Amino acid sequence: MFESAEIGHKLDKSVFREAVPVLRAAMQEAQVDLFTQHKFPVVVLISGQDGAGKGETINTLYEWMDPRFLSTLAFSEPSDEERERPPMWRYWRSLPPKGRIGIFAGSWYSDPIRERIQGALSLKELDARSQQINRFEEMLVNEGALVLKFWFHLTKDGQRARLKALEADPRTAWRVTQWNWDRLKTYDQLQEVAGHLLRITNTAAAPWVVVEGSDDRYRSLTVGQVLLDALRRRLAHPDQSPAPTAPMVRVNLDGRNVLSELDLTLKLDDKLYKDELAQWQGRLSELIRDERFKNRSLVCAFEGADAAGKGGAIRRIAAALDARQYQVTPVAAPTDEEKAQPHLWRFWRQLPRHGHVAIFDRTWYGRVLVERVEGFCSEADWLRAYSEINDFEHELMDAGVIMVKFWLQISQEEQLRRFQEREKIDFKRFKITQEDWRNREKWNDYQMAICDMVERTSTGNAPWTLVEANDKNYARVKILRTLCERLEAELSGPAVAAPGVSKKSDTKADKVGKSDKSDKVAKPGARDTKAVKPVDAGKHKKTKA
């Protein structure tokens, strides 16, 4: 991997001086074109060995380019705030928007390399991290980003000579510390780990450029020329299409699906609803204040048909929590700032710290629902979004986030009744728009998209809970109970499996008054939760709508 960077590349001073003015003018012209087109961002990773010229190269790029369209992000050990989020959180927040160049001094490669050298990561774990990085970078490229990765290389003798030269010069001596000399002792380990990691992450979407770092002029001119050439090629084709994706195929011969099999006649009378609401809100409050939750966080994702009752359910959850511990994020159409970033960027920004709760009123699933049905993104975009969403949620759960996802389902008839009711009540009129009426015309398209979403993103640790929401009382209690059961299971042991796609929770309360239809419906992956004591089943009565 490093052979071509160990042959002693050098550049004559006169050649360098002649080339720089032409290169600078061309780079600044490309920057202006990039900013004017506003079609894609550029992500530049500067990595490599100590003393190989990473800092000098970044300074040179600032000298040669227009700093108005350039930003540098430096990363070292994560802060306390960063440690309380998934490892990729700090990098997502720092991604440059379309039209700008972001230079990363230290990146998502730094932590796995350091942890492997320190013995905190096995080779198998390093390979798993590498594959996560590959998928992340592929997502960036599919979202339109130009990703350039530079690794600055020195031989062991070259690194020692470089550190001595820097230390001997009063102008640069401050840059060499005992830490740098200690790092020289791990040179062989770094070579082995970095070589392995670079080989696995040297992909077609984001290949590595290995640059010999012993000669300043050669190194700087090489990086500048590579950056310019890549910019020019991409500017000539700013709207290049992502790689083709296999089309969606759905076979549903008997007309049944996970939504059609929900029993929307399930109800709770008002008296029982008040009792159970108080019980489960109290239990939720206890669980959030539990000592074991202090090192965890909770993300609640709410999706559902228009007028299905998401807002009312969220308010019943919030009523059980301390206002200092939760944040409700309503999701609407993306802003101009959000459109300039990958579609998951605005959700990464809202992730909670330890001991806190984030509630999303509509979510990252908009890409595979409304954007798919309404044609706001290409077919390739929403097809690849399934795996990107699964990766996103997997990273959250690896970091200790408890993920609970709800889909609230109502019938077309109930939706029409609620729409008409909203138009008659002054304080509810704002909830109904012409867009809501228009979306009803695409009911079947949305139902198909929902079924695809559940099948492709209901994973073992982040399953969908499908909520029969024709009766608001029943839906709110089921949501609170499911949330408590999931929290109880997660906090009570290190290896508690999450439930599968849930249409009905396996507590006694749901077993009373089921229709024949609901008795026949299978429960894929359902778990019998015993951690939370169920309410007295004898109190429940099912009444028909």
Give the residue extent of every domain in the chain: 3-236, 270-497
Per-residue pLDDT reduced to its tens digit, 247-286: 676 667 788 899 999 999 999 999 999 999 999 999 999 9
What pLDDT score does 435 carry?
75
For residue 465, the model assigns a pLDDT of: 97
**What's at 416, amino acid-wise?**
L
The residue among 320 and 494 whose pLDDT is bigger is 320
Specify the range with the lowest mean pLDDT, choosing from 352-361, 389-398, 518-527: 518-527
Predicted pLDDT at 234:
94
Name the token pair of 511.
């077993």
pLDDT recorded at residue 241 = 63
Tell whether the model's pLDDT for residue 531 goes beyond 50: no
- Locate 261 and state its tokens: 């099999």
Q: Return the DSSP state at 87.
A: T
User: Contact at 8 Å (CB) between 510 and 529?
Assistant: no
Locate 267 and state its tokens. Answer: 């109800």
3-236 and 270-497: same fold? yes
Q: Is the pLDDT of residue 525 over 50?
A: no
Mean model confidence pLDDT for the chain: 87
Is pLDDT above 80 for 22? Answer: yes
Torsion of CA 490, 491, 495, 501, to 10 degrees: -10
Distance CA 469, CA 483 (A): 16
Q: Are 198 and 208 in contact (CB under 8 A)?
A: yes
Nearest one of 364, 402, 398 to 484, comparing CA atoms: 402
118-132, 162-176, 457-471: least confidently modelled range? 162-176
- Structure token pair of residue 99: 């039209």
Q: What is the mean pLDDT of residues 341-354?
A: 97
Q: For the segment 251-261, what is each residue's pLDDT rounded down to a tens digit? A: 677 888 999 99
Judged against a pLDDT cut of 50, whether residue 177 lies above it is answered with: yes
pLDDT tens profile 51-81: 888 999 999 999 999 999 999 999 988 899 9
Strands 297-304 and 326-330 come out as unpaired
Residue 51: the pLDDT is: 81
pLDDT at 528 exceeding the cut of 50: no
CATH of domain 270-497: 3.40.50.300
CB crowding 101-129: b at 16 or more within 10 Å, else e = bbbbbbbbbbbbbeebbeeebeeeebeeb
**CA dihedral sign of residues 384, 388, 391, 397:** negative
Please give the pLDDT value at position 83: 93
Catalogue the E-assigned strands of 37-129.
Answer: 42-48, 70-74, 101-105
Q: Which residue has the tokens 């942890």?
A: 115
Q: Which residue type is seen at 488?
A: E
What CATH code is assigned to 3-236? Answer: 3.40.50.300
41-55, 108-122, 204-218, 355-369, range with greatest mean pLDDT: 355-369
Structural tokens at position 413: 């008839």
**pLDDT value for 57:** 95
342, amino acid identity: P
Residue 543 has pLDDT above 80, yes or no: no
Local structure of 146: helix, strand or coil: strand
pLDDT in tens, 494-521: 643 444 455 444 443 443 334 333 333 3
Q: What pTM does this model have?
A: 0.84
Residue 469 dihedral angles phi and psi, to the nearest 5°? -115, 15
Percent share of the chain, pLDDT over 90: 69
pLDDT tens profile 23-37: 999 999 999 999 999
With a cut of 80, say whether residue 369 has pLDDT above it.
Answer: yes
